[in-house]
Amino acid sequence: MNKRIYLCLAHMSGEEQKYIKEAFDTNWVVPLGPNVNAFEEDLERFVGEGKKVVALSAGTAAVHLALIACGVQAGDEVLVQSFTFCASSNPVTYLGATPVFVDSEADTWNMDPVLLERAILDRMSVTGRKPKAIIPVYLYGMPGRIEEIMAVAEKYGIPVIEDAAEGLGSRYDGRVCGTFGRYGVLSFNGNKMITTSGGGALVCPDEESKRRVMFYATQARESYPYYQHEEIGYNYRMSNICAGIGRGQMTVLEEHIAHHRHVCRLYKELLSGVEGIVLHENPTPRQDSNYWLNTVLLDEHLHVKGEERAYAEVVHGAVGGAAGVTHQASSAHTSCEPNRNVEAMRLALDAAGIESRPLWKPMHLQPVFRNSPAYTNGVSESLFRRGLCLPSGPCVTDEDVAYIVEQIKANIN
């Protein structure tokens, strides 16, 4: 192999150029326009359930605006799934509220509804108030136990914001993820199921909610002939150019979902019989994951070549070539990290031209959230120590999957 196999990159279709050219030809090079409206309509048809959609600059912006729409303010608490990326919890802090982390259950790896109810009751006992919102996540595209989560939320009258950033096209009982709660969050980052180069969207319950979210997303302007602001707003609207890319991407969304599921079936077939490695799959027929990222767990007793050299050096730069700037790590170790065999496998795959990454480090283990309350059961920490994400994107071929599994097997002692 002389090429690099990346974890997950959205594949661009030929339709984008048509819509982008149209935007330039009509001079709609702004954060509104025909492409934005049409992209929202495409998404509304896809998610169904009578939902309305607002196209935004990022999935993180969608979380932020959903919290505002749910009335979250400084001093409030929001229950957030711990096992996920920081974009689910960071917007809580933007508002001066406190994220309260809830651990996962072992089947779907998502928010544990039993632990969720325990957390609600305890927070009410400690603070005398109910948390203002609940944010479950569809980790790596896997639908959680959303029906049970919604039952708990409804019992205590707390709105649910579904973070379906990784779950576009995933379904629970045939229903599109992101349509169960009061709001649903979608992401079109460059590594998601479809991309607008960046961007996201908020799934809203009705037209009135959509108009209110759009008000905050466009700097909260009052209807005067001059700029009058009575509330704080944000510059979160998606551009007409990015929405043009999104319109083109919608034409290949089902194709992308089918490909990710096909890649999962290949991993299952080729990893069958490999002792000590387990592929994460739909635990019940109710879950229908898009398999945004295919993930495996390595048994802690599995021996991988090069274990003795794992964590021997401090990492320079961002693993996986992530965009942006990272601080230089001060140590090769943290208080909680993947097992040595997982890191050894990551390094071995990297040397073979294959990008892989550990699972998300739970938020309750992140130093920045060390003072936030957390309700844990050990599940997410155990998964983080044992898990690895494998290449899964639209550009990953059958031959690539065969090569990846071949390298995995070759590095097992």
Inform me whether the pLDDT recorded for 103 exceeds 90.
yes
Inform me whether the pLDDT recorded for 313 exceeds 70.
yes
Q: What mean pLDDT do residues 258-270 have?
A: 98
What is the pTM for the complete model shown?
0.94
> No. of H helices and E strands in the chain?
12, 15
pLDDT, residue 324, reads 66
- Confidence label for 3 from pLDDT (cuts 50, 70 and 90): confident
Handedness of CA 237, 243, 249, 250 (dihedral sign): positive
- Confidence label for 2 from pLDDT (cuts 50, 70 and 90): low
Burial level of 197, CB count in 10 A (0-12/13-18/19+)? middle
Q: Which of 29-38, 149-158, 250-259, 333-342 has the lowest mean pLDDT?
A: 29-38
pLDDT, residue 32, reads 67
Q: What mean pLDDT do residues 134-153 have?
A: 98
Dig out the tokens for 261 from the structure: 């599921």
Burial level of 287, CB count in 10 A (0-12/13-18/19+)? buried
Dig out the tokens for 375 from the structure: 């309700």
- Confidence label for 29 from pLDDT (cuts 50, 70 and 90): low
Average pLDDT of the chain to the nearest whole number: 93
pLDDT digits (tens, 9 = 90+) for 70-97: 999 999 999 999 999 999 999 999 999 9
Q: Which of 24-33, 147-156, 188-197, 246-255 has the lowest mean pLDDT?
A: 24-33
pLDDT, residue 33, reads 79
Inform me whether the pLDDT recorded for 322 exceeds 60.
no
Percentage of the chain beyond pLDDT 70 is 94
Q: What mean pLDDT do residues 202-231 have?
A: 97
- Confidence label for 147 from pLDDT (cuts 50, 70 and 90): very high
Q: What mean pLDDT do residues 329-356 have?
A: 93
pLDDT, residue 243, reads 93
Reported residue count of the chain is 413
Q: How far apart are CA 243 and CA 52, in angstroms?
A: 16
Inform me whether the pLDDT recorded for 60 exceeds 80.
yes
pLDDT digits (tens, 9 = 90+) for 277-291: 999 999 999 999 999
Residue listed under structure tokens 């303010």 = 73
Q: How far apart are CA 313 and CA 210, in angstroms?
A: 49
Q: Which of 253-262, 309-318, 387-396 has the lowest mean pLDDT?
A: 309-318
Q: What mean pLDDT do residues 106-131 have?
A: 98
What domains are there in the chain, each with its CATH number?
Answer: 15-252 (3.40.640.10), 254-410 (3.90.1150.10)
Percentage of the chain beyond pLDDT 90 is 85
